[in-house]
Copies of this chain bind each other. A is one copy, B any other.
Amino acid sequence: MSTLLQRPVETKLDSLPQLLKALQSRSARVGILGLGYVGMPLALRCSEVGFPVMGFDIDEEKVERLNAGRSDIAHIPSERIVALREAGFEATNDFSRASDVDVLILCVPTPLTRHREPDLSFVISTVESLLPYLRPGHLLSLESTTYPGTTAEEICPRVERTGLRVGEEVFVVYSPEREDPGNAYYDTARIPKVVGGSTPGCRQAGVTFYAQIVETVVPVSSTQVAELTKLLENIHRAVNIGLVNEMKMVADSMGIDIFEVIDAAATKPFGFTPYYPGPGLGGHCIPIDPFYLTWKAREYGVNTRFIELAGEINYSMRNWVVTKLIEALNSVGKALRGSRILVLGVAYKKNLDDLRESPAIEILEKLLARGALADYSDPHVPRFPKLRQHKLDLSSVEVTAASVASYDAVLLLTDHDAFDYELIRRHARLIVDTRGRFRRLDAKVVGA
């Protein structure tokens, strides 16, 4: 059934003009490596515009699930995977099949090690497993967020070790993913795509490919510029959130509600963009990506002090929130030990089911370690999943008048729209609010 097998023999691609033609006609076969939050929307989009698409992943269960037409990403319904399959998509963990496709797009994770250094192992091992199957006419694109120089220093030399010349036989580009899970308007097609090439020919191939699948392509002068562009976007967010978190602590000490201040400042029609404080950063990007630049900058003897400061303050919010909860309980004569606490919202972002790097995990662990009887409620996370470094055997508690009233305090961490805030306000005994959802004038509400 696969359209991949239907290609006539004579269209073998082994030069830039042939590759460009196949990209423009959308007959080039696209391979997506890494079928997660970035790879799957990209696979769907490539297929939607007519490219034959193949997916690669080392996770056998995921490969089987996808081939059976089942999605494991909440905001991608399984019907879309079924349709993708019907259009010829196939998932595989057999990397030798890379020789069957013309475009190789790496969408693998780039986490940090436990010592906060870049962990490129997924990128490197994926590239290494592709090397035996590279051939003239291949377009290789890295989409994973990483430090400036990764493509030039880690990808190109490996490709050239096979004897293939970058820019003449194999075309290498860096084009950062900008997925925003949960953003209904800005989907893959609508988000402009930055593309930097290792050579002008590489860039031409990359721009030609991405122009087929997104409305706006933004060519830049090098892979390094494209790499730093993505980092700057996320550094901007990390620093601005760090700033409002610090401002929250300053305002709190002065008895001022920072959420009222931010909302008032947001009425300025120029020169100000509101960012909101919270219990600390979560997700796979903002807490992690900035430190890729920090690590690389050390090589040049320069510092990234805003990144370090934002990291420190954003991370410290977890302790600050726990302390505010302890003080709120103390003000009514209770210790945290033995108190019943209901944590509201554990996903890292509102209205999502994603727990990656969510500060709620560590806050729950801290509460339990201090002897609190802690539960959580999250309409998007019915049961706590198994996580690499954490083990919490908890299920979501339903929010009802009776359940809310049975806790000594509720602690709002993620302000999902699905929560019934009026019911919570009416029945909770004490509310510790990290999101500014409750009016501070209410005596039982404490800002945190």
**Which residues does A use to contact B, with CB under 8 Å?**
148-149, 178, 180, 183, 186, 190-192, 194, 216, 218, 220-222, 224-226, 228-230, 232-233, 235-237, 239-240, 242-243, 246-247, 249-251, 253-257, 260-262, 264-265, 267-273, 293, 296-297, 300-306, 309, 313
A239's partner among B237, B239, B265, B267 (CB-CB below 8 A) is B239
Given A240-B240, A253-B302, A247–B271 Cβ distance below 8 Å?
Answer: no
Q: Is the CB of B221 within 8 A of A260?
A: yes
In the A-B complex, the 4 residue pairs with the closest CB atoms: A253-B300, A229-B264, A192-B267, A273-B273
Q: Could you tell me the distance between the alpha carbons of A178 and B257 in the complex, rounded to whole angstroms? A: 21
Q: Is the CB of A253 within 8 A of B297?
A: yes
New A-B pairs, 7, CB < 8 Å, besides A191-B269, A229-B264? A148-B254, A192-B269, A226-B264, A230-B265, A236-B240, A246-B303, A250-B300
Q: Is the CB of B186 within 8 A of A250?
A: no
Q: Is the CB of B183 within 8 A of A261?
A: no
Q: Could you tell me the distance between the alpha carbons of A262 and B231 in the complex, rounded to whole angstroms? A: 11
Kindly name the residue among A233, A242, A300 whose own CB sees the greatest number of chain B CB atoms within 10 A. Answer: A233
Q: Is the CB of B302 within 8 A of A261?
A: no
Q: Is the CB of A242 within 8 A of B194?
A: no
Complex contacts, A186 vs chain B, CB 8 Å = 269-270
Q: Is the CB of A178 within 8 A of B236?
A: no
Complex contacts, A236 vs chain B, CB 8 Å = 240, 243, 265, 271-273
Complex contacts, A232 vs chain B, CB 8 Å = 247, 261-262, 265, 272
Q: How near does chain B come to A17, taking the closest CB pair, in angstroms?
A: 27
Given A260-B225, A304-B246, A270–B309 Cβ distance below 8 Å?
Answer: no
Complex contacts, A251 vs chain B, CB 8 Å = 228
Given A232-B261, A268-B192, A269-B190, A304–B225 Cβ distance below 8 Å?
Answer: no
Q: Is the CB of A268 within 8 A of B178?
A: yes
Q: Could you tell me the distance between the alpha carbons of A297 and B247 in the complex, rounded to whole angstroms? A: 10
Q: Is the CB of A180 within 8 A of B270?
A: yes
Q: Is the CB of A264 within 8 A of B225?
A: yes
29 contacts between A and B (CB under 8 A): A149-B254, A178-B268, A180-B270, A180-B271, A186-B269, A220-B260, A225-B257, A225-B261, A225-B264, A229-B264, A229-B265, A230-B265, A232-B247, A232-B262, A233-B265, A233-B268, A233-B272, A236-B272, A236-B273, A237-B271, A239-B240, A243-B306, A249-B302, A254-B297, A305-B309, A305-B313, A306-B306, A306-B309, A309-B309
Complex contacts, A297 vs chain B, CB 8 Å = 250, 253-254
Q: Could you tell me the distance between the alpha carbons of A402 and B229 in the complex, rounded to whole angstroms? A: 39
Kindly name the residue among A191, A256, A257, A268 whose own CB sees the greatest number of chain B CB atoms within 10 A. Answer: A268
A250's partner among B222, B255, B260, B293 (CB-CB below 8 A) is B293
Complex contacts, A237 vs chain B, CB 8 Å = 271-272
Q: Could you tell me the distance between the alpha carbons of A27 and B315 in the complex, rounded to whole angstroms? A: 55
Q: How near does chain B come to A281, taking the closest CB pair, in angstroms?
A: 13
A253's partner among B222, B273, B301 (CB-CB below 8 A) is B301
